[in-house]
Amino acid sequence: MQPASSPLHPFRHQVSHLALPAKFTYPFHYTPHPLCVLAAEEVKAYLAGQTQWRQELDAGKMFGVLVVQTTEGIGYLAAFSGLLAGENLHPFFVPPVYDLLRPDGYFKQEEERISAINRQIEAEELDDRYLTLAKELRREEESAQMAIGHAKAEMKAAKASRELRRKTGPAPTEVEAAAMVRESQHQKAEVKRLERSWKERLMDLKAELARYEERISGLKAERKNRSAALQQWLFAQFKILNARGETKDLCEIFARTVHRVPPAGAGECALPKLLQCAYLHGWKPLAMAEFWWGRSPLNEVRYHGYYYPSCRGKCEPILTHALQGLEVDENPLSAHLHEAKELEVVFEDEWLLVVNKPAGMLSVPGKGADDDSVYRRMKERYPKVTGPLIVHRLDMATSGLLLVAKTKEVHRQLQAQFAARSIKKRYIALLDGLLTDIPQEGRISLPLCLDPLDRPRQLVSFEHGKPAITDYRLLEQAGDRTRVLFYPLTGRTHQLRVHAAHPAGLGHPIAGDTLYGQKAERLYLHAEYLEFRHPVSGDTICLQAEADF
């Protein structure tokens, strides 16, 4: 079934001189096709004129464009991720895969039932009698504890007095001994009676309070069951098409993933919407691009107008299905993994070596068995050595000095130096843009953690992140770039990249950073200096490798 209205936009500019892409865009690492750039610019111009959305657009949102081929020619579709101004239906943009906001739909009706349960729970929890009972019970329990505690203390003191009399005074007569026994028995019985008395006084309060709590627990259980059932029902409504005409719902799509359950918001990102619309109309998808519009979120790095890859957590399983039947570009990173690159050895002895890793080479093997890496090269070079063992890592896109141990003991000692932060490292980088109103030298301290829905991107999180500290020094500014030295005091994943790009850091991404900035010939980040204590000789080893930029 096709939507009643067509969201297809013709290009406002002449595009006949632009060659059509041979294959569809690989959505997780790409350079936008010129047609997508033109489409995105037209969408940006449209957004700039929508003053009624200014507040939400300023807050930041991801948009996407899809260039399609129809029987009448070339056009493009536009979409936004999630909701826009609280709605998911806007004439300029493609409709959602499933409209969960339809007022007469099951989702909204069931959502209202759950909201009604929430109101019931709130009313019960704020009921005057319930709050009074809870306070009265706490007060009575405290009084009971004090009264019983006092009685037990008196009983204990009396027992100690009797023991002292037996040990220090003349031996008690038979009558006195019997009296002491009766006194002990009486005090124990009094404590038991006191405990029973308080238990009975508290019992009625607890019973009345329990009736409220049972109602509240029952409502909460009903809310939980209804919410889970509604979520499951909703996932089943997202029936995703692919180019072969095959359909799978989100439950089927995510069944083989690690978590097996679709994450919240799955199917509501821009690209799944765009592909679904194209397939419903019988249009052929040619190329895609997604861009950010507005301010960067506080916990991640997004730049206004920059292009970004599709997220992996929500979109990769969906797109794996949705792109079936299309010829898709190869992941450009995979091509780099098989390129033969020179690996320069900067220092070597019988215990360890330091290499100058080129950009585009992995430190350790990835998922592919044939992926080139420093580890693989070292294994081939020293087949009889136990190890060699990579002591630390550099991102695939980062070049520079990498420390390799030839024995497990040397590896252990070098890693201990890293843990103690006694190894000194210095990186050089080119940042996009000119840095103004930033001190010449300083320290960046932004804790980092993995974004579970968009690996391997990192988030800035003061709640869940691990400490990440970087010292920096600005060197020079030329053209539209700034040369910077980085001195990382910790070694978190993407630490320098996020600390450079985040608004609370330097606010300018490293040139060529496809995750946090814009693509260029390479990532302009190089580990140029390394200083450590040799674990065998004890000598201080200082090594430097100049960057080729």
Q: How far apart are CA 417 and CA 291, in angstroms?
A: 42
Determine the distance from the C-alpha atom of residue 490 to the mean position of all C-alpha atoms in its chain, rounded to a whole number. 20
Question: Of 533, 545, 445, whose CA–CA distance to 489 is shortest?
Answer: 445
Q: How many CB atoms lie within 10 A of CB 201?
A: 12
Contacts of 295 (CB under 8 A, 6+ apart): 58, 59, 60, 304
Tell me which amino acid residue 138 is. R
Q: Which amino acid is at 139?
A: R
3-state secondary structure of 239: strand
| Cβ pair 410, 383 in contact under 8 A | no
DSSP 434-467: ---S--SEEEEE--EEE-TTSTT-EEE-TTTPBP
- What's the half-sphere exposure (Cβ side, CA atoms, 13 Å) at 334? 11
Amino acid (one-letter) located at 117:
I
Q: Decide: helix, strand or coil at residue 400.
A: strand
> Whole-angstrom Cα distance, residue 403 to residue 356?
9
Catalytic residue chosen out of the listed positions 249, 371, 395, 513: 395
Helices (H), 52-98: 54-59
d(CA 222, CA 240): 30
* Contacts of residue 368, Cβ cutoff 8 Å, sequence gap at least 6: 334, 337
How far is Cα 5 from Cα 346, in angstroms, rounded to an integer?
64
Residues 459, 457: Cα–Cα separation, whole Å: 7
Strand intervals (E) in 406-524: 424-432, 441-445, 448-450, 458-460, 469-478, 481-488
CA distance 158 to 161: 5
Q: What pairing do the DSSP bridges indicate for beta strands 481-488 and 469-478? A: antiparallel
Task: Please indicate whether residue 480 is annotated as part of the active site.
Answer: no
For residues 531 and 297, give the distance between their C-alpha atoms in angstroms, rounded to a whole number. Answer: 37
CA distance 97 to 94: 9
* d(C-alpha 126, C-alpha 220), whole Å: 15
Nearest to 165 by CA among 152, 184, 151: 184
- Mapped onto helix, strand or coil, the DSSP state of residue 488 is strand
Residues acting as catalytic residues = 395
